[in-house]
Every structure is written in structure tokens, then in C-alpha cells.
Chains A and B, each alone.
Chain A
Amino acid sequence: MAKSVLVIGGGPAGLSAARALGKLGVPTVLVEKENKLGGRPVLESYHTLIPRKMTPSQVLGPYIEDVQSNGNVRIMLGTEIEACEGEAGDFKVSLSNGEKLEVSAIVVATGFQHFDSRRKGELGYGIYPDVITNLQLEQMFSKEGRLYRPSNGELPKRVAFVFCVGSRDRQLGVTNVHCCRYGCALSGLQASEIREKYPEVDVFCYYMDVRTYGTWEYPFYWAPQEEYGVRYVRGRIAEITFNPADGRLRVKHEDTIVQRPAEIPMDLVVLVLGMEPSPGTKKVAKILGLKQDPDSRFIVPSDESGSNIRSNKEGIFIAGACKGPIDIESSMAEGEAAAMEVLNFLGAKVTV
């Protein structure tokens, strides 16, 4: 019997890779650090996913079921890799539970983590309860089904979205200069959701530029404005303060289109978080000797191949957000592409 393939990470990319390999008859071990499959969207209870406005269970649910019901896929939850020896076709991987695996190829799908917005002190996150992250807003929707100000539980009258928090920012050093790719579109969606459910709430998006690329342009840029009345203001938020006189926040910015400084009262401020390589991505890159971007520390593909799925190590393939910010459906497509690359590498014959 052919040696098996190791997939590291049970998020959208890893699930897709394991599912495809399993369906094609390749013995696969799926190792996931957490005790649940699905990655960030499932673990952190995302509400609605861009761009198809489906829930995590609609998008990832069938993938999780396929993986769980496929006899070729062995799922190991709560497990990490600790060491790796050998070479392509004959890797010996030590796991955190003491087990040793012999695998022919490895798919790395270790993902990202959200930016910790306490690092941008001037935005007041962790100081003012009504400054929340877009992740917390998702959880407000998904877990509690209502919008409120954490300080008093009331419905906010005015909500601001602050784009690019922990993205496109050299003040944080060289690590966070990249664009998060999803933030503009998700904010357009979240802002529209608020306006749809609470038409009396004014919603403002503070942006530097709006990057709803490709087909995302209408649903996540024009629709929020034209169908839902979300207001877009061009200017990056410089700081957020609290006014005890009225108990409201103040967002400070320059409206760079009408060219005027402004300090606007807000009841709820949503920080749109950037993406960073997850601790798991950094750890696995080190163990496997994968090439990383020197600044962001995301894993980068091999220079020697046109494929952006191949790593610098033969027999090791990389997919999803461990390589940089990416949306969920592209991440899943990369997982499937990684499965194809693995098959090609194994020289496997697919029986029809």
C-alpha cells in the first residue's frame, strides 16, 4: 500500500485537500491543533461568509462531513507536529501525542491569525468597551443575533467601521505592510446587514481606498451605498477617544475629499482586523524548513515552479492563508489544487 499523505490544518484549505485526497483513494492523515474541524470560520463562529453570503456550516459543513465519513482520511484532533526527518517520499513526522507517522508528502494549511488591535493603542481597543473588532461583530450576529453597545447593551445610533487596522501599516514594523484582502468586502457586508436589520442606525465606513476587487465590486461596495445607505468617508481614522460628557466615542480623521479635519461622535466602532501568519504557520515553517517572506513571515512558494502550491521543499505543498491573506473560497480551491499536486508528485493512478 502506498504511504499516506499528511495534511496539517483542518481549516478551509486543509479540509479541501484532505477531502479531495480521500475521495481519490489516497490514505490521508489530517492533523488539527484544535479540537474541532473547520478552522477560523467555524472555531470563531463567523456569521456570513463573503462573497456568497453563506454561513460557515453551509460552506464548510459538507466538507467536514465528507472528511469524517471517508475511510481513507484519519482525523487527529488536538494534535500538532513537533519534528520532521527524512525527505520527499519518506518523511518521518513526530506528533505532539508521541505518535510517529511515515508519509510520502505533506500539505501545509496552517492558516492565519487575526491582528491583535491592542497594538494600535491610539484606537482605544481594550480601553473603551464600545470599540470592538469585526470578529466580535460577527459573533454578536451569530451568537446573540442582535447589535448592541457593550458598554450599556443598547442599540447604537451611529456605527463606524475603521478599515485597515493591522494592515498596510509600517508603524507596526515590517510585519503588517500587506493588505488583508477581505476587510473592505466584509465591512460592506456587515454594514449592509446592520442597515437591513436596523434602518434607523447610521453606518459609516472610513476608508483609505476600497478594494472590493473583481466581482465583489457591486455587492460589497455599491450595494452597501445604493441599496442600504451605508456612508463611505475617505480618510483613515487617526485616533479614537471617549467623551465622558455624552458617553460616546469620538473618531478623529481628515475627510480627505472635502479636505477638512473632523471629530465625529460614534456609539460603536468596529475595527477591521488584518491577517497575520498563525503561530502554527510559523512553527510548522520552522520544523519543515519552509521559506517564509522575510517581513510578514507568511510561507512563500518555490521560485522554481510556476505553481504557487509547491513549497521550496520537494514533497511539501502549501495552501490557503499560511501563504498570505486570502478569502475562504480561494483557500478551498488552493486546498484542492494541493491535492492535485500531491497526486502528481506520488505518480498515483486514479482508478475510475
Chain B
Amino acid sequence: MDGHKYGYNIPISDKTKSVPFDEKRRIVEEVKADFRFKEYLFGCLNCGVCTASCPSNRFFDYSPREIVQRFLEEDIEVLYDMMHEYIWACSQCFTCWIRCPFVNNPGGLVAIMREVAVRNAFEATKDLLKPYGRVLLKVMTTGNQLSADMLQPDFFPDWGPKMQDNMENLRAKRMAIPFDVGKSVKTAWEVSLETAMEMYTIWRETGIFEMLEKIDPNLYNVIMDIVEENEERYEELYEEEEE
């Protein structure tokens, strides 16, 4: 079976082979140093309940049991290699976690691995996040994931010819919705400036901005422009209230 990755057949990519071992070890150690790690990994009997329950396993070369086993074996090469493609097939449904008889959390381990991959600006994360640029922009600036103005015919060719009509007079159409939708086409619901400030504080304190800067500097600049603009508006409002 070509490219089949189950079990001990996981091929190490040439790229992973070319990375110095100490660097690969540093990355894996960073995963293991996460405070959640010891709550996510226990003993494993290779019973296969996680993999049998895994929806991604049905469609991709991805097996949660493999994640647990590689951590127990401390297989640095494979773990490092997995972080570039293999782990991104996980749908983060955590069925593995609620089914594992020994309460291992393969999905949780994948979540930590992904965060470390993003923090270390792996090439794979840049490629993977590219299609989500618009969503990321909306989420990080407004806290909304989708909004009316994100509907653009160019982006949704499969939505059919009516899409063009739907895009026209967006504002009027939205106002016609018989319940409060924030009277805005830029957000799905209204986001107060105070809420936005709190959100930016979270992004800043948790290092999300830094993470983004490494992966997508252009998107980072666009987002920071909006963030700073909002912060200035907030400052002005605050000063007015003071007076």
C-alpha cells in the first residue's frame, strides 16, 4: 500500500531527517513540558478503542493509538515528523479520550503538538492556516468567526449563481431580519469595545499575537492595524468619560 502510514510503516520524511537531532528533541521536549501533558498520557495496552472510534481514522492515515504509542516509546524522529502533517488529520472531536479505557487523551496530545508547531512556526502550519486567513482576521479583531460581509462569490463558487444576488444590498437585507443581529454586516453580532479590549489583552498575554507574527507576518500587520485603531478609539472614549 503506497503511502500507507499505519503502524511501524510511518516513513520519516527527508526533511525531518535533515533536521539536527537535538532540534527535534527540543521540539518534543517542549510538547512534554506542557502542563497538560501528564494528564493526557498514561499507560497504553494497544487495545485500539481510540483508533476504532476515530472518525479521521476512517478517511486519513491517522491513528490516535499511534500518537500514544510514539510518546510512550519516546520516538523523537516520528513525533517530530508527525507534527508536520500526520497530526493535522485529527478532527479534535476527542472521542478517543472519552472512550480510552485508560483515559489517555490522544486528541489532547495532538492539540499540544499543534500549539508547539505553531509556536515554532513550522512550515506546515503556515500552509495549513493559509485558507483560514479571513476567518482568523475576523476572530482576532472582533471575536466573531463569520459575518455577512465574508460572503463573497469569488470564495464560494460552489454556492451557485444566486450568490451574486445574495451579496447585493447586504445591509438592507440584514436589517430586514426580524430580530436583533447587531445592525452590522461586519460582525455576526455586536461586539462592544470593552469586550474587544479584553479579547486583545488575552491575545497579548497568551502570546497569540507573537505566534501569528511568526506564521503570517502580513496577516499580523493587518490585524494589528485594526487592533491599534480600536485601542485608540477606546482610549479616546475613556478620556472623554474621565472629563
| A residues apposed to B, CB below 8 Å | 122, 164, 168-171, 208-209, 234-239, 252-256, 259-262
| B residues apposed to A, CB below 8 Å | 6-7, 45-53, 57-58, 63, 65, 98-103
Considering the complex, give the chain A residue whose CB is closest to the CB of B45.
Answer: A208
Distance in Å from the Cβ of B209 to the closest Cβ of chain A? 39
User: Cβ of B53 and Cβ of A171 under 8 Å apart?
Assistant: no
User: Cβ of A254 and Cβ of B45 under 8 Å apart?
Assistant: no
Considering the complex, give the chain B residue whose CB is closest to the CB of A239.
Answer: B53
Residues from chain B with Cβ under 8 Å of A168 in the complex: 45, 101
Most central of B6, B52, B63, B102 by chain A CB within 10 Å: B52
User: Cβ of B6 and Cβ of A236 under 8 Å apart?
Assistant: no
Distance in Å from the Cβ of B40 to the closest Cβ of chain A? 13
User: Cβ of B49 and Cβ of A236 under 8 Å apart?
Assistant: yes
* Contact flag A261-B47 (CB < 8 Å), given A171-B100, A171-B103: no
List 3 tightest A-B contacts by C-beta distance, closest first. A254-B48, A238-B52, A236-B47
Distance in Å from the Cβ of A88 to the closest Cβ of chain B? 42
Q: Could you list 15 further interchain pairs (A-B, Cβ under 8 angstroms) beyond the known A236-B101, A261-B51?
A: A234-B48, A236-B47, A237-B52, A238-B48, A238-B53, A238-B99, A252-B52, A252-B53, A253-B49, A254-B57, A256-B46, A256-B47, A259-B63, A261-B57, A261-B58
Residue from the list A122, A169, A253, A260 in contact with B6, Cβ < 8 A: A260
Instruction: A164 to B98: give the CA distance in the assembly, Å.
Output: 17
Distance in Å from the Cβ of B58 to the closest Cβ of chain A? 7
User: Cβ of A170 and Cβ of B101 under 8 Å apart?
Assistant: yes
User: Cβ of B53 and Cβ of A169 under 8 Å apart?
Assistant: no
* Contact flag A164-B52 (CB < 8 Å), given A208-B47, A235-B47, A236-B47: no
Residue from the list A171, A235, A239 in contact with B48, Cβ < 8 A: A235
User: Cβ of A259 and Cβ of B7 under 8 Å apart?
Assistant: yes
Residue from the list A164, A169, A254 in contact with B65, Cβ < 8 A: A254
Distance in Å from the Cβ of B217 to the closest Cβ of chain A? 41
Distance in Å from the Cβ of B67 to the closest Cβ of chain A? 14
Distance in Å from the Cβ of B69 to the closest Cβ of chain A? 10
User: Cβ of A122 and Cβ of B102 under 8 Å apart?
Assistant: no
User: Cβ of B99 and Cβ of A209 under 8 Å apart?
Assistant: no
Considering the complex, give the chain A residue whose CB is closest to the CB of B102.
Answer: A170
Residues from chain B with Cβ under 8 Å of A208 in the complex: 45-47
Most central of B47, B101, B102 by chain A CB within 10 Å: B47
Instruction: A70 to B46: give the CA distance in the assembly, Å.
Output: 53
Residues from chain B with Cβ under 8 Å of A262 in the complex: 52
Distance in Å from the Cβ of B86 to the closest Cβ of chain A? 15
Instruction: A110 to B22: give the CA distance in the assembly, Å.
Output: 59
Considering the complex, give the chain B residue whose CB is closest to the CB of A169.
Answer: B101
A sample of 14 inter-chain contacts (CB < 8 A) reads A164-B101, A170-B101, A171-B103, A208-B46, A236-B47, A236-B52, A238-B49, A239-B53, A252-B53, A253-B52, A254-B48, A254-B65, A256-B51, A259-B6
Distance in Å from the Cβ of B66 to the closest Cβ of chain A? 9
Instruction: A238 to B53: give the CA distance in the assembly, Å.
Output: 6
Instruction: A209 to B57: give the CA distance in the assembly, Å.
Output: 23
User: Cβ of A254 and Cβ of B52 under 8 Å apart?
Assistant: yes
Residues from chain A with Cβ under 8 Å of B53 in the complex: 238-239, 252
Considering the complex, give the chain A residue whose CB is closest to the CB of B58.
Answer: A261
Instruction: A259 to B65: give the CA distance in the assembly, Å.
Output: 10
Residues from chain A with Cβ under 8 Å of B58 in the complex: 261
* Contact flag A236-B98 (CB < 8 Å), given A171-B103, A259-B7: no
Instruction: A234 to B46: give the CA distance in the assembly, Å.
Output: 9
Residue from the list B6, B7, B101 in contact with A171, Cβ < 8 A: B101
Considering the complex, give the chain A residue whose CB is closest to the CB of B48.
Answer: A254
Instruction: A208 to B46: give the CA distance in the assembly, Å.
Output: 8
Distance in Å from the Cβ of A208 to the closest Cβ of chain B? 4
Instruction: A235 to B98: give the CA distance in the assembly, Å.
Output: 17
Distance in Å from the Cβ of B62 to the closest Cβ of chain A? 11
Residues from chain B with Cβ under 8 Å of A164 in the complex: 101
Residues from chain A with Cβ under 8 Å of B99 in the complex: 122, 171, 238
Residues from chain B with Cβ under 8 Å of A169 in the complex: 101
Considering the complex, give the chain A residue whose CB is closest to the CB of B54.
Answer: A261
Distance in Å from the Cβ of B171 to the closest Cβ of chain A? 48
Distance in Å from the Cβ of A237 to the closest Cβ of chain B? 8
Distance in Å from the Cβ of A101 to the closest Cβ of chain B? 44
Instruction: A254 to B102: give the CA distance in the assembly, Å.
Output: 16
Residues from chain A with Cβ under 8 Å of B102 in the complex: 170
User: Cβ of A235 and Cβ of B6 under 8 Å apart?
Assistant: no
